[in-house]
Amino acid sequence: MVTVLLFCLVGSAQRSERNPPNSDGGSSRGAAGDSAEVEITGTLKAPVRTQKLIAFVGTDPCDPKKGVHHALRSVAIDPNVSTNFFLEIFVPQGSKGHVCGAGFDKDGKLVLFGAYAGNPLTFRGKGEVTFSQVTIALEPVSKQPGSGKTGTH
């Protein structure tokens, strides 16, 4: 179950104090086969009101043509309540991921899309690997490079 956190987040991704950098610059590796528990919190910034927002994380770069289809985890957000999101995934230590956002109109058509400027993130650390204050500016799909017809979620 994914929970939407209802608090304001502003700024860039920061490592949680629960995971201070180690003497190796914060790049310590767990034993082979270890997975990282990754928590990502942030906000989607939409220039226009949409019916539904979705925040998601995947292994591929954010691409409006692919939409949300290849996400490791996604969460739907009601923009009438909040534009904040919380994602939790379990992935191999040292793997990389991209945090993305999308906005859909009342007909389920993708109209807004964006990527976190700090992508890709490296998921490595002991305990919970936390990225907070991840802000994603959504833009109209028509302004996306190489955008064409996109499918619905």
Per-residue pLDDT of the chain (153 residues; tens, 9 = 90+): 333 333 333 233 333 333 333 323 333 344 446 899 999 999 999 999 999 999 999 999 999 999 898 899 999 999 999 999 999 999 999 999 999 999 999 999 999 999 999 999 999 998 899 999 999 999 999 876 654 444 444
Residue spans per domain, the chain: 14-18+35-143
pLDDT recorded at residue 14: 35
- The closest alpha carbon to 141, from 116, 98, 104, 97, belongs to 104
Cβ atoms 151, 110 nearer than 8 A: yes
pLDDT recorded at residue 33: 60
Cβ atoms 42, 136 nearer than 8 A: yes
The token pair that represents 73 in the structure block: 């985890």
Q: Which amino acid is at 51?
A: Q
pTM of the full predicted structure?
0.73
Q: Which amino acid is at 33?
A: G
The token pair that represents 6 in the structure block: 């209802």
Residues 98 and 120: their CA atoms lie apart, in Å, by 5
- Out of 2.60.40, 3.40.50, 1.10.530, 3.30.70, the CATH code matching 14-18+35-143 is 2.60.40
Handedness of CA 79, 85, 90, 93 (dihedral sign): positive
